[in-house]
Structure 1
Amino acid sequence: MPDWFLGIDTSNYRTSAAVYDPVSGVWQNEGSLLDVPEGAIGLRQSDALFQHTVRLHEKIEALPQGAVRAVGISTRPRAVEGSYMPCFLAGESVARSAAHLLSVPLVACSHQQGHVAAAALSANRLDLLDRPFLAWHLSGGTTELLLVQPGADGLPDCACVGGTTDLSAGQLIDRAGALLGLPFPSGAALDKLAVGTLPQAGYAPKVSGSRFSLSGMQNQVLALYERGEPSETVARFTLETVANAVVKATGQARRQYAYPVLCAGGVMASEIVRTRMRQTVEDVFFADPVLSGDNAVGVAVLAARQYERNKT
């Protein structure tokens, strides 16, 4: 049996537990989206916390058995002061109890650090975690371009050097999806619509210092919808607009930081955005779509790395 490292992540929209074996590179993630009422574009934290509490044991029970060397847990959205969401308490409670009963180390990290580690594993570039690189974290609630460096504590130190100043890319996508009657979260469904139509320019948001605003883009999307444009056109416009901002911000950042670029987060699963990045950015790497969205695999990876670090 392999020596497993257990990871747990209870984000705002997905319950996830995973095991990872650093020797073989084998991992398994068990996760599912939380239930969001039809037509809604969000979930109250109290509802998210309740659903995680009910479902987390099912995810853990679906994992393969074996010796657990350490338990990893995401305890907050980002590793910055004041970053907090109650939904992470569900996972933290279980993780702390499991680590105590198993007499193994507990490794706490942020949801964002887990995203970065999962993307590095999926791209077969775990070596990036040992040197500086740039990383996009594009998700339902976060649109940040990060300068990632090895932290003094052994975990990735993620400093925001660009991204949105208001609406996140995921929020724009979900609001466009709500207009079109798509399920929440809407990223996958919107991308499926978009790839079925001809490419278009989208809107080019102003980008300065790798930072941009997306709030005005919501009005542009609404105007298209109200003019009666086909759903495929609205979807493509939305994703091309996000791609325009991300590509330009990346170019500006790389003039200052000549590092590889790693792409993480659920929005980065979009084939439209990924294609544009591949066409215009050199030395860019992507997580497999399965590990682009919220998952516990990256948390397990960080638990394994911290375990090895503390052995020496």
Structure 2
Amino acid sequence: MAERFLGIDTSNYRTSAAVYEPESGFWQSEGGLLTVPAGAIGLRQSDALFQHTVRLHEKIEALPQGEVSAIGVSTRPRAVEGSYMPCFLAGESAARSAAHLLSVPLFTVSHQQGHIAAAALSAGRLSLLDGPFLAWHLSGGTSELLLVHPGADGLPDCTCIGGTTDLAAGQLIDRAGALLGLPFPAGAALDALALSAAPEKGYRPRVTACRFSLSGMQNQVENKCKTASARQVARFTLETVANAVLKATEQALAQYPYPVLCAGGVMASSVIRMRMRERFADVSFAEPVLSGDNAVGTAVLAARLYERNRT
């Protein structure tokens, strides 16, 4: 029987569980967005934790039954000192209980490490995890350009070398979506609007040493709303984010000429992907379903750590 690994992730806006079989490459992900009140652009941590606690068992029960060799769970946003969000307690509690009852190993990882592993699997480039590469983690709460090496603990060792200094790319996109009356999170709807728009250059934020500010871009988007259609506003927003990301990537590659892996929900944008593919030869993306928050990456990392500890 093929070895199977369970992954659990309870991020700020999605409850996720997944299984992964390294021998066949099979994976199945079950997840769902948390309920955000109409017109809101976020949730309090207490509300997110409650919703995860209510819904996690449904995601696990939707997975195929069978024995698992180990469990992986995300317990914090990033693998850095002081990184903490209460919403991850829901997944950690369930994972620790399951691992104890099943007498299988439990491996704790960060949400960011899970994103990177899921993107590498989806792109067919798990081998990236065995050497140095650059990775974008572009999402609602994080916009970081990472230098990644294999860590001594067997997990991706991520050093932030660039990205936003203030507003995350996903926050800018969600605020633009709110101005246009789109549901939260607004990424998919904004991308669909942008694809129906005429070519738009967007604003070019200043990028220095791979870092840029997006807080002032909200004013640019608001001004655009006064004179342009919703479609053009959407295109302007995503092209603006793409301009910053491309410039920061160019600056990073000048110092670190490695492959580039793109992870996070914002990287599901067709507009940003097109721009990245046009500019860089060695860039890889997760398929959209594994770009956003998911538990597949935690299961992949559990499989890798299980094999590492066994040999």
Q: Same fold (TM over 0.5)?
A: yes
Q: How far apart are the structure 2 equivalents of 1:250 and 1:42?
A: 29
Match of 1:66 in 2: 66
Distance in 2 between residues matched to 1:58 and 1:67, nearest whole Å: 18
Q: Supply the distance in 1 between the matched residues of 2:196 and 2:275 (Cα, whole angstroms).
A: 16
Partner Cα distance (2:107, 2:285) in 1:
25
Q: Given the two structures, how large is their TM-score scaled by the length of structure 2?
A: 0.99
> Is 1:172–2:172 an aligned residue pair?
yes
SS in 2 for 1:232: helix
Instruction: Spell out, residue by residue over 1:99-154, the C-alpha distance to the aligned partner (whole angstroms, 9 max, x if none).
Output: 00010000000000000000000000000000000000000000000001000100
Q: Distance in 2 between matches of 1:171 and 1:138?
A: 10
Return 5+ residue gaps in structure 2 as ranges.
Answer: none
Aligned equivalent of 2:17: 17
Q: CA deviation at 1:281?
A: 1.3
Query: Which structure 1 segments of 5+ residues have no match?
Result: none
Distance 1:93 1:208 in 2: 42
Equivalent residue number for residue 87 of structure 2: 87
Which residue does 1:121 correspond to in 2?
121
Deviations, residues 241-281 of structure 1 (Å, cap 9, x unaligned): 00000000000000000000000000000000000000011
Question: Identity of paired residues, percent?
Answer: 78
- Aligned pairs for 1:216-227 within 5 A: 216-227=216-227
Letter paired with 1:75: T
CA contact (8 A) 1:182 1:189 kept: yes
In the alignment, what sits opposite 2:287? 288
Q: Distance in 1 between matches of 2:115 and 2:226?
A: 36
Q: Which residue of 2 aligns with 1:51?
A: 51
Deviation at 1:226, TM superposition (A): 2.4
Aligned-pair Cα RMSD in Å: 0.6
Work out the number of aligned pairs and report it: 311
1: CA distance between counterparts of 2:82 and 2:233?
36
Matching residue's letter, 2:53: T
Q: Matches of 1:88 and 1:199 in 2, distance apart?
A: 40
Deviation at 1:282, TM superposition (A): 1.9
Contact 1:145/1:160 (8 A) holds in 2: yes
Corresponding residue of 2:213: 213
Which amino acid in structure 1 is aligned with residue 99 of structure 2?
Answer: A
Counterpart-to-counterpart distance in 2, 1:166 and 1:193: 26
Q: TM-score, normalised by structure 1?
A: 0.99
Alignment partners' CA distance in 1, 2:192 and 2:2: 38
1:304 & 1:100 partners in 2: Cα distance? 18
Q: What SS is found at the alignment partner of 1:192?
A: helix
Indicate if the aligned counterparts of 1:3 and 1:66 stay in contact, CA closer than 8 A. Answer: no
Amino acid at match of 1:118: A
2:264 maps to 1:268: no
CA contact (8 A) 1:2 1:66 kept: no
Distance 1:281 1:107 in 2: 35
In 2: Cα distance, 1:169 partner to 1:60 partner? 31
Instruction: Report the equivalent of 1:29.
Output: 29
Q: Deviations over 1:43-73 (max 9, x none)?
A: 0000000000000000000000111000000
Instruction: Provide the rounded CA distance (Å) in 1 between the counterparts of 2:92 and 2:163.
Output: 29
Q: Moved runs in structure 1, 4+ residues, more than 2 A? A: none
Secondary structure at 1:255 match in 2: helix
